[in-house]
Structure 1
Amino acid sequence: MVELLSSLTSPRLQRVDAEGRLAVKHTDRGSVIDRLYQSGAAKIRFPASPESRACEAVLINTAGGLTGGDRLSWSFRAGEGVKLICTSQACERIYRSRDGEPARLSVKIDVDKGARVSWIPQETILFDGCALERSVEADLASDASLLIVEALVFGRAAMGETVRRVSLRDRWTIRRDGRLVFADAVSFAGNDMEDQLQRRAVAKGHRALATVALVAPDAERHLDHVRERFPDLASSAFAGKLLARLTANEAHDLRKMLIPLAEVLSGENALPKVWAA
């Protein structure tokens, strides 16, 4: 009886161990699925879009979020001449880790000759006490293009949530023809997250922040337009790359800036329907 009560009061939660893989090829009908694999809570759906020749992939984590010990990986290959848009059905939620072990989320993107990929998931919401290790790794052909839009939200302001403790390690690595062209690393740790976000060099007191990176042969040509349309935005462009960082009081305000900025940088890839709605 003692053992039975112990098992009832201290359940072992099932961990998420999920993977989704997608390869897309170019045909006379546009960009279509070549190979698809999905396991565990990782699902990929493809909204019908007769007017578009791009392939839009909507990623779903059926577990509803991630917590300590969970693993979720996505990998994509865009074949020659492909136009691929990857987004998420909903915001990814990173819940409190009871034992301090991080959730692990990895993204791998391969972009072949003449292809263009937009990686535009909806916001990642960080809850108090969460721990996350995330990596985005991309390999591009010489004339391929990649747009990345990643947003972080520290708690939901509308719900009155306070985020004091977070452990986050976020790494981006982008190579072109095997040569490193862009690397970025962000780390948050400690029990004073509200104080850290107050720092001007971090978030200026805001709770929602985003990084936007365009790696493309013509990336620099967008800079004047971006600075003219978004004069308060921190942005720069050099050597086939454009980088912008945004902050806002909450997710809704951040979206009002992210959507028009992503539209400017998306080129021939229209914004995903879940963002445009």
Structure 2
Amino acid sequence: MTELLTEKAANQIVKGWQGHLNLSYAYRNDTTQIIHNEVQAPLKVQRPFYPEGKKVCHSVILHTAGGVVGGDSLSMNFQLEPDAKTLITTAAAGKIYRSSGLEARQTIEIKIAKDAYLEWLPQETIVFNGAIYRQDLRVELEPEASVLLWEITRFGRTARGERFVSGEWRSHVEVWQQGHPLWIDRQVVKGEEMLTSPHGLGGYPVLASLAWVGQPVTGEIVEKARLLWQNTPFFDEGKSGQIQLSAGVTRLTNGLLCRYRGSSTAAARRWLIGVWELLRLSGRDRAICLPRVWPN
């Protein structure tokens, strides 16, 4: 099987890929290390990188099949021991191909121990027209642990004029701490119905979210995150040529939530990077370090 599957060839695989990735991190000898690494194709992890020093481990996940198709079932488990600090991203944009009727699914389980934190920052996902996809992510935080999650999703290959008029995308996210829910998020996009609805995407093809959970934020941080959006030169423009505000910032019970809907993954990424840097400096007193696999 070649690394890069076409839609037609991929959907001929009835059973689909059953891949998994289990990673455990520990802070030992002043270094965050991977102490357990178990993989099954098509998932793979590159060797760890330390572009910001030994205390923060950067990991890059690869999907060697090139995309997800109906019938695929992928699972990832990340576990951080006390004081471990980890950033995990993906090597390239994810692709969810058109389905012949079977659902594709991805499940992520994360456990973060005391004084540890994880930044889960995958590159954007492109959901092809006709895709049927569900992703579930659950985080268990111990006291004084925290997590930063983001997701950038484009519905349809809009550069080719494709719209997401059929198919279904579901995202379920839960963050818990000692049996108490800190953030529960449910999102569903069903083709044209939610793509065009003013209560859904309002005609925009890009949806993005960032959640920082596990540490309280001040009203000042919320205001700064909003100003980051308002003061940047990459707003989306509507048909009238007027600037359209397509972002929002909310303070959670123990964290921060940012939302974007628009037409540009680059705009979403730049704003979320700005928020990430703001949170890093305020909560960790450490500047961000962009993963080397990200596009410039």
Sort the TM-score into its range (normalised by shorter chain): 0.7 to 0.9
> Deviation of residue 12 (structure 1)?
4.5
Do the aligned residues in 2 keep the contact of 1:206 with 1:250 (CA within 8 Å)?
A: no
Identify unmatched segments of 5+ residues in structure 1: 1-9
**Given the two structures, how large is their TM-score scaled by the length of structure 2?**
0.83
Residue 26 (str. 1) matches residue 27 (str. 2): yes
Residue identity (%): 28
1:113-155 deviation line (CA, Å, top 9, x unaligned): 0011101101111001100011010000111110000111012
Residue 270 (str. 1) matches residue 293 (str. 2): no
How big is the alpha-carbon RMSD for the aligned residues of Structure 1 and Structure 2? 2.0
Counterpart in 2 of 1:237?
Answer: 251
Q: 1:197 to 1:33 in 2, by over 3 A?
A: same
Counterpart in 1 of 2:64?
Answer: 62
1:136 counterpart letter in structure 2 = L
Q: 1:31 to 1:204 in 2, by over 3 A?
A: same
Question: Which of 192, 199, 205 does residue 197 from structure 2 map onto?
Answer: 199
Counterparts of residues 85-234 of structure 1 (less than 5 Å):
85-98=87-100, 100-189=101-190, 193-194=191-192, 196-220=194-218, 222-231=221-230, 232=245, 233-234=247-248
Matches of 1:86 and 1:48 in 2, distance apart? 10
1:254 counterpart letter in structure 2 = A
> Deviation of residue 109 (structure 1)?
0.8
Secondary structure in structure 2 of the residue aligned to 1:217: coil
Deviating above 4 A after TM superposition, structure 1's stretches of 4 or more consecutive aligned residues are 10-14
Identify unmatched segments of 5+ residues in structure 2: 1-10, 231-244
Q: 1:11 to 1:166 in 2, by over 3 A?
A: closer
Matches of 1:205 and 1:68 in 2, distance apart? 26
Do the aligned residues in 2 keep the contact of 1:121 with 1:150 (CA within 8 Å)?
A: yes
Do the aligned residues in 1 keep the contact of 2:164 with 2:195 (CA within 8 Å)?
A: no
> Deviation of residue 274 (structure 1)?
2.8
- Greater Cα shift, 116-125 or 40-49: 40-49
Matches of 1:272 and 1:219 in 2, distance apart? 25
1:155 counterpart letter in structure 2 = G
Do the aligned residues in 2 keep the contact of 1:20 with 1:42 (CA within 8 Å)?
A: yes
Matches of 1:59 and 1:113 in 2, distance apart? 25
**Given the two structures, how large is their TM-score scaled by the length of structure 1?**
0.88
Matches of 2:12 and 2:143 in 1, distance apart? 51
> Deviation of residue 37 (structure 1)?
0.5
- Greater Cα shift, 72-81 or 173-182: 173-182
> Deviation of residue 199 (structure 1)?
2.8
